[in-house]
Structure 1
């Protein structure tokens, strides 16, 4: 089923047939996948932020792939990594999950199972949250963080800014976008520069 938004998926597998099959699968599902067989290329792609999901083959010999996963985690602690293998092993499964792999699947991959994993990843990791929503959530998080540091209640911030408690609460929850005028009032009340709200974006 096609999605209104596309996942960017990197497929890392030494088997060409698997790479082709997965690229076709993701295309049918409405996502975009590209593949590499060389582990050396992966970290560069990850650091550039070019993918939201990594499909990583950890078939024997598994050590190089598990080591790659650990390097991926060092480069991007939040990237969704789904491991797959033609030879399931409890030891390898434990090692990948310790490195925060999202799932560990057995080849050949069943379309229904893979589809369920993708849907779970989108839901649990918010992979298809659009840029505006991400911005609102981060501004809200920073606002709440600063208000808590200053030991101020919503009511106190409302009194200082002339904004309603309801609006401030909605902004903190990421459910409402703050105008530049509103952000200026909040920044003044919380004694921070306006760019404070965007520093981590």
Structure 2
């Protein structure tokens, strides 16, 4: 088992690596870039570690008027189109939505005594969440207004909440790949 103390986190986008990432989305398009969460901190032996977490995507939620899978696919396609059209320049074929899933949750706004169905819309780029949220709220997607939920939560915080992580606590892994250092060494004092 590998454990690393969470001292600092950030994220970046990079090309999909077939060793760690899917290369095709469930929405049937090739994946170009994926978000990676980096966690910096020492392991239990005190050795400094930079941990790269793959396979986690930023998301927002919208209430579902129906539980038909086809509706979710249309919602994702319409959202991609609305985002592309909102940019003055850019490719109208760019895919922003990684996946869309039907989930049942208890809404946080108002009183609810039973679970409600939501579409969990996962994106490639955390920076696009705000624009997607604005477009959903404005009625630019499927000519319908959607109230986004959890769109205000930053990507790193979503990961902490979803995986029950805390700063300065340990993150544990049963299965991880360790990058081997090359034989090259650098002498920073000579610079």
Q: Where on the TM-score scale, by shorter chain, does this alignment land: which range?
A: under 0.3
Higher helix proportion, which one? 1
TM-score relative to the length of structure 1: 0.21
Larger radius of gyration: 1
* Higher RCO (CA-CA < 8 Å; seq separation 6+): 2
Higher strand proportion, which one? 2
TM-score relative to the length of structure 2: 0.22
